[in-house]
Amino acid sequence: MSVGSYIMHSSVKVLVAVTVTLAALTAGCRSINRAITESVLDRQPAEEWHVRYGSRVQYVLNDETMKDVEFEGSANAGDTTVRYQRGLAQQAQCVADRTAELLRRVEEQVGVTITTRSTIHLLRFDQRPQDFDIYLKVEPNEFPLPLFIRMGEESCESILVQNRGYPYLFVHELVETSIASGNKRGVVLPDLSWGPPGLEVHISNYTRWFRDGLANYAGYAAYKLLAEEIPISHRLQYRQTLLHTNPFSSLAWVGKRLFSWRQSSRTRHERDYYNAALGLFLLIEDTYGQEAIRRIMAQIATREAVDGRDLLQITDQVLGVDVKRLAEDFEFPEVGVELERLTPAGALNSGLEVQEGLFVQTVEEDSAAALAGLQKRDAITAVGDAAVANALDFELALFQVRNQPSVPLTVQRRDAGTLTLQLPLQKPAAQPPGKRRKPPGDDAIESAGSPLLFTW
């Protein structure tokens, strides 16, 4: 840690220059340094101190460090293997059984066949790593997932809820790798890249909207299915799982540009495209039912491989509509508020008597939120009859009432208690494609894991 920062203005610089010149004529380097320092300290007192703290402790897990981990054994269920350390045999079998059953139910609901095997590593720590870097080489069609376990919180439920990447990110990767690789029918062709920096060659099949959209949709299905089994005592922690939280506002903003999204198009709006891809599949489910998505997957399975044009043709045929037009015409209410997930600690620090909700960070002037009377530092706990604990809950609730003129919000306000505010659900002003209003959000993740990588 370094303390102190002195900024010398022009007059001080002149003084120092004179001091240096005079001192240089009469003394050595030590005397010069001493004279300069004393001169500056006497005539330029510090206006402020700059203090910075930081942590450089990072947990690294790779092929070499994995060799040092002592595993007692492994448990298996279906295509899931769970390796465990001492004393975790029972928990490992529980995690394997729960995961295998969860994946079976996701396959049934989404209509996807998960061919990628999963290997879960149970790793015990005194304190779970918060800053980590994981890079593992595995066999094709295998996905590794370390689950960190805090000492003393070793029940099966605790293991599942204290790892925020399970199940959403985990299932996302299993589904995307399953549909984009392997020697089977119904392969959704991925984008490919190779070559040194500056000379890369990119092959774009324009399937990313479908690959990431379906994978996000499957991850969300897994999140909901597991939520049904989580005990009340663990539910608050489970609701902190990493999710894409702005699917509908992002879809309204991205529109038909989603279908030209490529693996190589790394933009600062990458997060919005991931969200929009989820939003499209949720819109299809709401409008045409889960069976429509299963029929799309069944049609894909009749072909050896499909690219972006094939996917559009199949989707249009199954839905009976132009899916590009479906995305382009989708509208979502603009609220004009920036939200952040409220934690129990944040609520206590803010003087609010709630356990979960959404904390209002900013309210735009003349927005729907401003018209409703929302204020900075309010906590939104419900939209209509739907309780909200994160931004995804908020968007899902607005989505269900989007065609109504307004919806009541339940709000906790410091020193005012519980309030009910009426939020007008105004439609966004018509704007040309590419000029749409970017959705605000508290999204926790840039992407659902790394893109699928092939080594050539």
Question: What whole-number distance in Å separates Cα of residue 289 and Cα of residue 296?
Answer: 12
Give the pLDDT of residue 302: 95
Instruction: Provide the pLDDT for residue 198.
Output: 79
pLDDT at 433 over 50: no
With bands split at pLDDT 50, 70 and 90, how would you rate the model's confidence at 65?
very high
- Encoded amino acid at 38, one letter: E
Find the range with the poorest average confidence among 42-56, 137-151, 167-181, 363-377: 42-56
Fold (CATH) for 337-424: Pdz3 Domain (2.30.42)
What's the pLDDT score for residue 7? 44
Q: Are 245 and 443 in contact (CB under 8 A)?
A: yes
Better-scored residue on pLDDT, 132 or 429: 132
Q: Which neighbouring-strand residues pair with 380?
A: 358, 411
Name 60's bridge partners: 133
Answer whether residue 14 shows pLDDT above 60: no
What is the rounded average pLDDT of the residues 327-336? 96
pTM: 0.84
pLDDT at 455 over 60: no
Q: What pLDDT was estimated at residue 177? A: 95
| Model pLDDT, residue 183 | 62
The CA distances from residue 442 to 182, 202, 244, in Å, are: 36, 32, 9
Query: Would you kindly state where each structural domain of the chain is located, as residue ranges?
Result: 1-54, 60-179+221-226, 201-217+242-325, 337-424
The pLDDT value recorded for residue 125 is 96
Q: Give the Cα separation of 422 and 371 in Å (integer).
A: 9
Query: Which pLDDT does position 6 carry in this prediction?
Result: 43
CB 111 within 8 A of CB 314: no
pLDDT band at 436 (very low <50, low <70, confident <90, very high): very low
Q: For 17-21, 95-99, 296-300, which range has the lowest pLDDT when averaged over its residues?
A: 17-21
Mean per-residue pLDDT for 334-354? 91
- Distance CA(387)–CA(411), nearest Å, equals 11
Read off the pLDDT of residues 243-257 as tens digits, 9 standing for 90 and up.
999 999 999 999 999
13 pLDDT above the threshold of 90? no
* pLDDT exceeds cutoff 80 at 43: no
Burial class (CB in 10 A: 0-12, 13-18, 19+), 168: buried
Mean of pLDDT values over 214-218: 99
**358-415: pLDDT as tens digits:** 999 999 999 999 999 999 999 999 999 999 999 999 999 999 999 999 999 999 999 9
Query: For residue 430, what pLDDT band results from cuts at 50, 70 and 90?
Result: very low
Mind listing the pLDDT tens digit for each residue in 156-169? 999 999 999 999 99
Q: Is the pLDDT of residue 3 over 60?
A: no
Decide if pLDDT at 5 tops 50.
Answer: no
Query: How much of the chain, in percent, has pLDDT values that exceed 70?
Result: 85
Residue 84 CB neighbour total at 10 angstroms: 25
Spatial separation of the C-alpha atoms in residues 356 and 359, rounded to whole Å: 9
Give percent of the chain above pLDDT 90: 67
Tokens of 258: 């989603």
